[in-house]
Amino acid sequence: MQLSSQQQQAVTHTGSPALIVAGAGSGKTRTLTAKFSHLIDQGYDPRKILAITFTNKAAQEMKSRLMTMTGLSQDRFQWVRTFHSACLMMLKQHCTRLGYVPPVQVLSVYQQDKLIKELCVANNIDKKYASRILSFLSRAKNSGNPHQFFDRKPVFFNIRTADIFDQYEERLKQMNGVDFDNILLKTRDLLKEHEDIRKEYQAWFSYILVDEYQDTNNLQEDLTSLLLGAHRNLFCVGDDWQAVYGFRGSNVNHFLRFSKKYRDAKIFRLEENFRSANEIVQVANDLIDYNPDKMDKHCFSHKKGGVVEIYDFLSDAHEAEWVARRIKAMNRQGQGIAYDRMAVVYRTKFCSLPFEKIFRAFRVPYRLMGAQGFFERMEVLDINSYLSAAFFPNDDLSFERVVNTPKRGIGPAMIKKMAAMRNTGTSLQDAARIMVKERVLTPKIHENLSRVLEILDCIRDMAPAPAMEEVIAQTGYYEYLEKKTKTKAEWISKKENIEQLIHTARTKADMLSYLEEAALIREDKEDEDTDSDGVALLTIHSAKGLEFDTVFVVGCEERLFPHWRSIDDGDAALAEERRLMYVAMTRAERFLYLTHANYRKGEFAMPSRFIGQIKECLD
Ligand SMILES: Nc1ncnc2c1ncn2[C@@H]1O[C@H](COP(=O)(O)OP(=O)(O)OP(=O)(O)O)[C@@H](O)[C@H]1O
């Protein structure tokens, strides 16, 4: 595949910072990879090129493409990473300068969640607020200046957030750990406050490439500036029309103000859409035109014959049934569109339910994407917690989980006793060891607790995959799982998950790199089994970056899409909702169907304002 002339111009430009303002389907990833390869041809050392991707999966794909294109080995592309993964490399290298003792523990989603719930209990806050407090703290950190953020928003649901933040950070410090956001925050501080380290990286990185630049937050912007050397070799690619992460702190203004920040910046546009037929591209362009404050671009496609249609239904059940019938028909008709080339996308997760039901009834194969992260599944958490508790003896959160999994009679009351035994700075695991040593427990509990500690000691220095097998064998985990699951199918699926986990772990030689990688995986899309067949059922956020022949955008109703929270939040949030609709529409190559229902979940619903606007564009 040849690069288009627009792509080619962007790729060959050097000498000043460049911003690539790219449309949907315009081949951003391809351009970025071609740029990397061009730099190698120009004599740049690939080990010194920092290429930032949005997900770990994208980094992996970019590395494989580069290996194929250049014939070089994987270790040559050691800085093709996400912001989090790149920052973790730097943080680990210099963590003692920030007062950490290596190895630093990266908290997983589960551990973060458990920690914040503990703090809720300690502060008499209802645990139902835990996830919202966590996202609030995350926004504060990603703003780049948490305390300033709290000064502006000191109270959240009557909770003094700065206090919770301080307690949360204190616990992380005790654990010698960082959460996902701290990886960026601490690295930013490291680079900002330690000139020698900053200079070392600036001298090392000869070029910085950033993908999905429209979705960077303030911290990521700071990091990019701090890492950029005097050469100012910066190449950022993105599409401000697809900026959809404002709700979690991304700031599209970094993209919009690029040429103000870098006065000599060169702006390139990629306007040809290689994915969608022009009929779809033009309607999507017209819709996004309703948004003020955006970069000018004139997206087009040479492909013809696209279909954009709008349908309304009495209820969500009718809508789902029509979609199922249409999908079956399209699969059978003419040459037939394969099920895995079709997708049903929606604004919020709950919309998938009627579709799951009807697809099962109509025997339409489907895959529910972004449902529950692989690493958040109960059985995966159990096994990983054993590894984490073994490797990080200060990890109380994991120890608490494994000490009574499978059930050993060491319940919450016993944990409380353990917690009371410890002095400040001692972990629960240390306390447990003292209790065993001093023989203060009943014989049965003594024996059971000793067993857990023995297992942890036994696996501590093992490679991750054999350690998992050891845990399963020594705890009788499969027997426990079989008893715990309600159906045979559930048992088989959980067992398969563990087998998959062990298989994945085999690629890692040591415990630390395995645990770090597991903790870094966050994105909905990261752990999808993209090989499986079936119609994709997914949120628009999960669909970002993907493409399908046929797309059904369902649930296009006011207060659902745009979401009521964005309607209440005002114009900026509404503009982001419109960009989400733009993302949804531009996933389609040939057939785009937009549907809405008069009743959803039994409640009356008005058609989305976007439906009205799209109808105008179609007229
Ligand atoms: N020069 C080219 N000629 C033909 N096809 C191309 C070219 N560049 C990219 N493509 C194809 O266009 C499609 C879209 O590319 P890609 O998914 O990289 O776009 P994108 O810019 O990341 O899109 P989006 O932001 O909408 O997710 C892919 O199928 C890709 O193979």
Q: What is the CATH number of the domain that holds 39?
A: 3.40.50.300
Q: Examine residue 355 and state whether it is found in any structural domain, yes or no.
A: yes
Q: How far apart are CA 233 and CA 235, in angstroms?
A: 7
194/253 same-domain check: yes
- pLDDT confidence band for 530 (50 / 70 / 90): very low
Question: Separation of 616 CA from ligand 1 center, angstroms?
Answer: 28
Q: How far apart are CA 419 and CA 399, in angstroms?
A: 12
Q: What is the pLDDT of residues 179-212, one digit of tens each?
A: 999 999 999 999 999 999 999 999 999 999 999 9
From 29, 70, 93, 474, active-site residue = 29
Q: 77-86, 314-323, 499-508, 530-539: which has the minimum mean pLDDT?
A: 530-539
Q: How far apart are CA 53 and CA 60, in angstroms?
A: 9
Q: Examine residue 365 and state whether it is found in any structural domain, yes or no.
A: yes
Question: Separation of 523 CA from ligand 1 center, angstroms?
Answer: 21
Task: Say if residue 15 carries a ligand binding annotation.
Answer: no
Q: What's the distance, CA 347 to chain centroid? A: 17
415/508 same-domain check: yes
Q: Residue 577: which residues within 8 A CB-CB, separation 6 or more?
A: 561, 562, 563, 566, 610
Q: Examine residue 193 and state whether it is found in any structural domain, yes or no.
A: yes
What number of other Cβ atoms are within 10 A of residue 413's Cβ?
8
Residue nearest to atom 8 of ligand 1 (CA): 27
Q: Examine residue 93 and state whether it is found in any structural domain, yes or no.
A: no
pLDDT at 10: 96
Is the pLDDT score of 523 beyond 80?
A: no
Is any atom of ligand 1 closer than 6 Å to the C-beta of 546?
Answer: no
CA distances in angstroms from 605 to 134, 140, 324, listed in the order given = 32, 35, 22
Structural domain ending residue among the three candidates 209, 238, 272: 272
Half-sphere exposure of 449 (CA within 13 A, CB side): 26
pLDDT at 618: 87
Task: Say if residue 28 carries a ligand binding annotation.
Answer: yes
Q: What is the mean pLDDT of residues 442-467?
A: 95
Name which of 187, 251, 242 is nearest 217 in CA terms: 251
Q: Examine residue 145 and state whether it is found in any structural domain, yes or no.
A: yes
Q: What is the mean pLDDT of residues 375-397?
A: 93
73/219 same-domain check: yes
84/116 same-domain check: no
Is the pLDDT score of 529 beyond 60?
A: no
Structural domain ending residue among the three candidates 459, 487, 521: 521
Task: Say if residue 602 carries a ligand binding annotation.
Answer: no
Question: Separation of 25 CA from ligand 1 center, angstroms?
Answer: 5
Q: What is the mean pLDDT of residues 408-435?
A: 87
Q: 259-263, 284-288, 304-308, 417-421: which has the minimum mean pLDDT?
A: 417-421
Residue nearest to atom 15 of ligand 1 (CA): 27
Residue nearest to atom 12 of ligand 1 (CA): 274
Q: What is the mean pLDDT of residues 109-137?
A: 90
Q: Which atom of ligand 1 is nearest to the CA of 586?
A: 26
Q: Examine residue 180 and state whether it is found in any structural domain, yes or no.
A: no
pLDDT at 390: 97
Contact 19, 268 (CB under 8 A): yes
Residue nearest to atom 23 of ligand 1 (CA): 25
pLDDT at 156: 78
Task: Say if residue 43 carries a ligand binding annotation.
Answer: no
Task: Say if residue 334 carries a ligand binding annotation.
Answer: no
285/360 same-domain check: yes
Angle between helices 195-204 and 83-94 (to 10 degrees): 130
Contact 63, 74 (CB under 8 A): yes
65/210 same-domain check: yes
User: Per-residue DSSP letters for 378-406?
Assistant: HHHHHHHHHHHHHH-TT-HHHHHHHHTSS
Q: What is the pLDDT of residues 251-279, one digit of tens each?
A: 999 999 999 999 999 999 999 999 999 99
From 179, 212, 400, 523, active-site residue = 212
What number of other Cβ atoms are within 10 A of residue 298's Cβ?
9
Exposure of 401 by Cβ count < 10 A (0-12 exposed, 13-18 middle, 19+ buried)?
A: buried
Task: Say if residue 26 carries a ligand binding annotation.
Answer: yes
Average pLDDT, the chain: 92
Is the pLDDT score of 610 beyond 50?
A: yes
Structural domain ending residue among the three candidates 272, 292, 310: 272
pLDDT at 601: 79
Question: Separation of 238 CA from ligand 1 center, angstroms?
Answer: 13
Q: Can you give the pTM of this predicted structure?
A: 0.86
Is any atom of ligand 1 closer than 6 Å to the C-beta of 25?
Answer: yes
pLDDT at 525: 45
- pLDDT confidence band for 369 (50 / 70 / 90): confident
What number of other Cβ atoms are within 10 A of residue 230's Cβ?
7
pLDDT at 531: 45
DSSP assigned state of 303: -
Q: Examine residue 301 and state whether it is found in any structural domain, yes or no.
A: yes
Q: Examine residue 133 and state whether it is found in any structural domain, yes or no.
A: yes
pLDDT at 135: 87
Residue 570 lies in domain = 281-370+529-618
405/489 same-domain check: yes
Q: Determine what percent of the chain falls in helix, strand and coil, rounding each to the nearest 5.
A: 55, 15, 30
As a three-state string, the secondary structure of 530-569 is: CCCCCEEEEEHHHHCCCCEEEEEECCCECEECCEHHHHHH
Q: What is the mean pLDDT of residues 69-80?
A: 94
Q: How far apart are CA 459 and CA 257, in angstroms?
A: 52
114/151 same-domain check: yes
Is the pLDDT score of 528 beyond 50?
A: no
Q: What is the pLDDT of residues 39-49, one digit of tens each?
A: 999 999 999 99
Pocket of ligand 1, candidates 26, 239, 586: which has the most ligand atoms within 8 Å of its Cβ, to mutate? 26
pLDDT at 335: 64
pLDDT at 440: 85
pLDDT at 57: 86
Q: How far apart are CA 58 and CA 78, in angstroms?
A: 14
Is the pLDDT score of 409 beyond 50?
A: yes
pLDDT at 119: 93
Q: How far apart are CA 256 and CA 246, in angstroms?
A: 14
Is the pLDDT score of 403 beyond 70?
A: yes
Q: 28-37, 251-260, 485-494: which has the minimum mean pLDDT?
A: 485-494
Number of domains in the chain: 4
Q: How far apart are CA 502 and CA 488, in angstroms?
A: 21
Is the pLDDT score of 524 beyond 70?
A: no
219/132 same-domain check: no
Pocket of ligand 1, candidates 274, 276, 538, 547: which has the most ligand atoms within 8 Å of its Cβ, to mutate? 274
Q: What is the helix (H) or strand (E) element at residue 497, kind and residue range?
A: helix 488-505
69/113 same-domain check: no
User: In the structure encoding, which two tokens stand for residue 559, read together?
Assistant: 């207060």
242/266 same-domain check: yes
Q: 150-159, 234-243, 397-406, 571-580: which has the minimum mean pLDDT?
A: 150-159
pLDDT at 56: 87
Q: Which atom of ligand 1 is nearest to the CA of 30?
A: 18
Is the pLDDT score of 416 beyond 90?
A: no
Is the pLDDT score of 81 beyond 90?
A: yes
Q: Which atom of ligand 1 is nearest to the CA of 545?
A: 27
Q: What is the helix (H) or strand (E) element at residue 343, kind and residue range?
A: strand 342-346
Question: Separation of 64 CA from ligand 1 center, angstroms?
Answer: 17
Question: Separation of 339 CA from ligand 1 center, angstroms?
Answer: 21
Q: How far apart are CA 601 and CA 99, in angstroms?
A: 53
483/383 same-domain check: yes
Q: 242-256, 417-431, 447-461: which has the minimum mean pLDDT?
A: 417-431
Q: How far apart are CA 385 and CA 374, in angstroms?
A: 14
